[in-house]
Protein backbone atom coordinates (compact mmCIF):
# COMPACT_ATOMS: atom_id res chain seq x y z
CA UNK A 1 0.00 0.00 0.00
CA UNK A 2 1.26 3.44 -0.81
CA UNK A 3 0.77 6.17 1.77
CA UNK A 4 1.42 9.88 1.71
CA UNK A 5 2.17 11.37 5.11
CA UNK A 6 3.57 14.66 6.31
CA UNK A 7 6.21 13.84 8.94
CA UNK A 8 9.04 16.05 10.15
CA UNK A 9 12.37 15.29 8.45
CA UNK A 10 14.17 15.11 11.79
CA UNK A 11 11.74 12.48 13.07
CA UNK A 12 12.16 10.31 9.98
CA UNK A 13 15.95 10.68 10.06
CA UNK A 14 16.03 9.64 13.73
CA UNK A 15 13.72 6.69 13.03
CA UNK A 16 15.90 5.38 10.21
CA UNK A 17 19.08 5.90 12.25
CA UNK A 18 17.81 4.35 15.49
CA UNK A 19 16.03 1.42 13.83
CA UNK A 20 19.02 0.54 11.69
CA UNK A 21 16.77 0.53 8.65
CA UNK A 22 18.18 0.78 5.14
CA UNK A 23 15.52 3.27 4.06
CA UNK A 24 12.41 5.16 5.19
CA UNK A 25 10.00 2.39 4.19
CA UNK A 26 11.88 -0.21 6.21
CA UNK A 27 12.11 2.18 9.16
CA UNK A 28 8.37 2.80 9.11
CA UNK A 29 7.68 -0.92 8.80
CA UNK A 30 9.90 -1.63 11.84
CA UNK A 31 8.29 1.17 13.86
CA UNK A 32 4.74 0.07 13.05
CA UNK A 33 5.46 -3.59 13.86
CA UNK A 34 7.10 -2.62 17.15
CA UNK A 35 4.21 -0.34 18.08
CA UNK A 36 1.61 -3.03 17.32
CA UNK A 37 3.59 -5.65 19.25
CA UNK A 38 3.82 -3.42 22.33
CA UNK A 39 0.12 -2.55 22.06
CA UNK A 40 -0.83 -6.25 22.01
CA UNK A 41 1.29 -6.86 25.11
CA UNK A 42 -0.22 -3.83 26.87
CA UNK A 43 -3.77 -4.91 25.95
CA UNK A 44 -3.12 -8.46 27.16
CA UNK A 45 -1.63 -7.14 30.40
CA UNK A 46 -4.70 -4.96 30.99
CA UNK A 47 -6.93 -7.96 30.32
CA UNK A 48 -5.01 -10.04 32.88
CA UNK A 49 -5.45 -7.29 35.49
CA UNK A 50 -9.18 -7.07 34.76
CA UNK A 51 -9.68 -10.84 34.56
CA UNK A 52 -6.85 -12.66 36.39
CA UNK A 53 -6.24 -16.33 35.72
CA UNK A 54 -7.81 -18.58 38.31
CA UNK A 55 -6.46 -22.04 38.96
CA UNK A 56 -8.66 -24.75 40.42
CA UNK A 57 -5.82 -26.31 42.37
CA UNK A 58 -2.55 -25.27 43.94
CA UNK A 59 0.98 -26.54 44.43
CA UNK A 60 0.01 -28.99 47.19
CA UNK A 61 -2.50 -30.72 44.93
CA UNK A 62 0.02 -30.95 42.07
CA UNK A 63 2.67 -32.42 44.39
CA UNK A 64 0.21 -35.05 45.56
CA UNK A 65 -0.69 -35.94 41.99
CA UNK A 66 2.98 -36.25 41.03
CA UNK A 67 3.61 -38.66 43.91
CA UNK A 68 0.95 -41.11 42.73
Q: What's the DSSP call for residue 20?
A: T
Sorted by where each begins, the domain ranges of the chain are 9-67
Dist. CA 16–CA 41, nearest whole Å: 24
Alpha-carbon separation of residue 52 from 7, 43, 44, 58 (angstroms): 40, 13, 11, 15
pTM: 0.72
Q: What is the pLDDT of residues 23-61, one digit of tens each?
A: 999 999 999 999 999 999 999 999 999 999 888 888 889
- The region that residue 21 occupies, defined by phi over 0 for left and psi between -120 and 50 for alpha, beta otherwise, is beta
pLDDT at residue 58 in the model: 87
pLDDT at residue 23 in the model: 97
Amino acid sequence: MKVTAIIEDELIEELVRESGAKNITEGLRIAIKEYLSKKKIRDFSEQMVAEPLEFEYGAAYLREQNRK
